Amino acid sequence: MAEGDSLPNVEIELPDESKAKLPDYSGQPLVVYFYPKDDTSGCTREAKEFSAALGDFADAGAKVLGISKDSPAKHRKFAEKHDISVDLATDADGAVTEAFGVWVEKNMYGRKYMGIERSTFLFDAGGKLVRVWHKVRVPGHVEAVLEAVKDLG
């Protein structure tokens, strides 16, 4: 996805196992962040930081949604264990990560495998992509995203 693209019409599964389409979230700025796996150090830190800033995002009129391929049950356990309040969604069939272009080949210790590239996408209230962060480093990231949301005015 590139800046100017529209929010893709793909389905996500929420922790209560209900389904929603991403365009259901239009009407307000939407932050969609992709992370590799529940309960790993970087992903936990990112989810906790987004959760801690959730009030600031709400004050700026924005919704935040974290997406991984973990199951709804795993999301519920992760949220409960770490007091995560940001909404987490499941991309069980890979359609969402494919639509956003974040299902990529990764390389760790010489082993190549497919996985989610930590990335964040900011959509305006009309569902237009206005900012993208790829290969996210967690420290300072939530603050940068919040500033971009505030800049939407």
Q: Which CATH number is 104's domain given?
A: 3.40.30.10
Tokens 């793909």 correspond to: 10
Domain assignment present for residue 133? The answer is: yes
User: Residue 89 is encoded by which pair of tokens?
Assistant: 């969604």
Average pLDDT, stretch 126-151? 96
Residue-wise pLDDT for 63-95, tens only, equals 999 999 999 999 999 999 999 999 999 998 999
Which of 137, 132, 150 lies closest to 60 in space, CA to CA?
150
pLDDT reading at 153 higher than 80: no
Domain that holds residue 142: 26-151
- How sure is the predictor about 107, in pLDDT bands with cuts at 50, 70 and 90? confident
18 found inside a domain: no
The residues carrying an active-site annotation are: 43
Q: Are 29 and 97 in contact (CB under 8 A)?
A: no
In a domain, 56, yes or no: yes
Say if 116 falls within a structural domain.
yes
Asked whether residue 118 carries a pLDDT value surpassing 90, the answer given is yes
Determine, yes or no, domain membership for 59: yes
Tens of pLDDT, residue by residue over 34-62, are 999 999 989 999 999 999 999 999 999 99
134 in a structural domain: yes
Describe the crossing of helices 41-52 and 141-151 by its angle, rounded to 10 degrees: 40
Q: How many domains does the chain have?
A: 1
- Mean pLDDT, rounded, of the chain: 95
Mean pLDDT along residues 126-149: 96
pLDDT level of residue 113 (50, 70, 90 thresholds): confident
* Residue 69 domain flag: yes
Classify residue 13: in a domain, yes or no: no
- What φ, ψ does residue 109 adopt, rounded to 5°? 55, 40
